[in-house]
Chain A
């Protein structure tokens, strides 16, 4: 079973990139989701938003569109855009592994968002390549005898989660 691990250092870097993107693109919200629907990081006016549901639906949306792409012989559709009356959603795939979502209204424009996302995509891709490398080296370190914090999980730990 594969695992995706996010460390504090890279988490801060990701937040910085998407925070900058939000400001540069004059967007309301920017967030990053992995392709399985787990939210990785978010920036912006999040109070009124159910980001967990957004993450899951975004991933479902991208998965369905990926399926469509394959059916017509495309590798993927790297960009999805949904235009609403007030708010718009711009979705792009970063390095075939994670999904970048920008929500914006009339204070910004599709052209500006597209331009800023292109730059942020490159920065994010670099970070995710670094994360992957770190996970690999952690794995090797572990086989050298250093255990993960979960190696010691006991039945009691798990049972306690289900106690009323």
Chain B
């Protein structure tokens, strides 16, 4: 739910990174955090287990700059990817403005990608959203791994509605900002329609 604050002249939007366990959602946020000017970012909060698996969510507030006199603030969240955290995952989607689906390129993780995408579709529906209409970007992560499937094969299996799709290697930053930019753009374009 975009929050437009006329008093503070701010637009606040919520973007959620979704995807199967260990696909690199947190790594995307970590890279964005590392490469963003300190004045434009808040703290990166990770609610993680002792083994650094996301338990509830990661959170990163980002100031992107000014549009039409309004400061644009994006709140980036990740969900816990592991299957059994579904109740928590669903909570994070509350009030979401845009979704990034991070897919793991390894062949062995294709079933997990497909299952996670179905789960996203269902959890969005439960909040009254529709994956067909919500701002949405697909990212093929871990392109550097030798076991990565060809991108066109992944596209065939995971493309949902012709959404913008990016190949990424999140620890090196490849494709990370392109993905963020694409989803932020769609979210801001949605404001035009209001």
Contacts and interface: CB of A to CB of B under 8 A. Distances in A.
Interface string B62-75: 00110111101001
Interface of B: 1-8, 11-12, 14, 42-43, 45, 47, 56-57, 59, 61, 64-65, 67-70, 72, 75, 87-88, 91-92, 94-95, 97, 129, 134, 177, 181, 184-185, 188-192, 194
A137 interface: no
Nearest to A59: B94
Contact of A153 (B4, B6, B188): B188
Given A60-B47, A149-B69, A1 B190 contact: yes
Interface of A: 1-8, 11-12, 34-38, 40, 50, 52-53, 56-57, 60, 63-64, 66-67, 142, 148-153, 155, 157-158, 160-162
A35 B192 contact: no
A4 B3 contact: yes
Contact of A56 (B67, B75, B97): B75
Contacts of B11: 150
23 contacts: A2-B1, A3-B2, A3-B4, A4-B2, A12-B7, A36-B1, A36-B3, A37-B59, A56-B45, A56-B61, A56-B75, A60-B47, A60-B59, A60-B91, A63-B91, A63-B92, A67-B91, A150-B70, A150-B188, A150-B192, A151-B192, A151-B194, A161-B67
B43 A153 contact: no
B56 A64 contact: yes
A142 B177 CA distance: 34
Nearest to A70: B87
Contacts of B68: 149-150, 152-153, 157
Contact of A158 (B5, B87, B94, B188): B188
Contacts, number: 131
A60 B4 contact: no
Contact of B64 (A11, A36, A57, A161): A161
Contacts of B14: 36-38
Most B CB within 10 A of own CB, among A11, A12, A149, A155: A149
Contacts of A36: 1, 3, 14, 94-95
Contacts of A64: 56, 88, 91
Contacts of B181: 162
A56 to B, nearest CB: 5
Contacts of B61: 52-53, 56
Contacts of A5: 3-6
Contacts of B7: 6-8, 11-12
Contacts of B91: 60, 63-64, 66-67
A35 B94 CA distance: 8
Given A52-B42, A150-B194, A158 B1 contact: no
Given A50-B42, A60-B57, A148 B194 contact: yes
Contacts of B191: 148, 150, 153
Given A67-B88, A153-B188, A158-B184, 19 more contacts: A1-B129, A2-B1, A2-B95, A3-B1, A3-B4, A6-B4, A35-B95, A38-B12, A50-B42, A52-B42, A53-B45, A56-B61, A57-B45, A57-B59, A63-B92, A153-B192, A157-B67, A158-B67, A161-B72
A160 B68 CA distance: 11
